[in-house]
Amino acid sequence: MGSCSTDLKSGIGGLEGRLLKDGDRLATGKPSRQFSGPQGVKQLLWGNRIRALPGPEYREFDRASQEAFWRSPWQLSPQSNRMGYRLQGQSLTRTTDRELLSHGLLPGVVQVPYNGQPIVLMNDAQTTGGYPRIACIIEADMYHLAQIPLGQPIHFVQCSLEEALNARRERQRYLEQLTWRLQHEH
């Protein structure tokens, strides 16, 4: 598909499937077309606010943890990767020690393992798991979450299913406008 990205866990792609190091030289090709930027298409900027819905086990977390999830800033851990974004912040606590059966997972699910530090599942995440799910990032905001650099604060904003569906429609409209613009560029 022509990608130059690297998957370190699989050891494929990029430069010999490894991290870049001092002295590495990267080949560049001639661009197939010139891009002047997204003119005529308005992009919504949310800062680092990421919208989410409460997850299936949300009510199993104590009130302080529920509030901390929505009100406290989170930071991406250096251990984050394409499978999951590990977050650092206030430890979240459940009110029960009930073990969960394995359940299906999708990108955007926010699991909370025993250490209380949430993990947002990303595009290469596993498909099943057993940690409690405190929230699920809405599909329309996953692209933005994936672009946030390490060290930048992230704030989760609770939204309704209706808001999530509207955001998805807006995102789809934006992508259609962008596609049209790129196809009709001079």
What tens digit of pLDDT does each residue of 97-121 get?
888 999 999 999 999 999 999 999 9
pLDDT at 151: 82
Q: Give the pLDDT band (50/70/90) at residue 146.
A: very high
Could you read off the pLDDT of 157-174 as tens digits, one per residue? 999 999 999 999 999 999
Extents of the domains making up the chain: 49-177
pTM: 0.76
Bridge partners (DSSP) of residue 88 are 75
Return d(Cα 89, Cα 75) in angstroms, integer: 7
CATH for 49-177, options being 2.40.100.10, 3.40.50.1110, 2.30.42.10, 3.40.50.1100? 2.40.100.10
* pLDDT at residue 42, rounded to an integer: 42
CA distance 135 to 121: 11
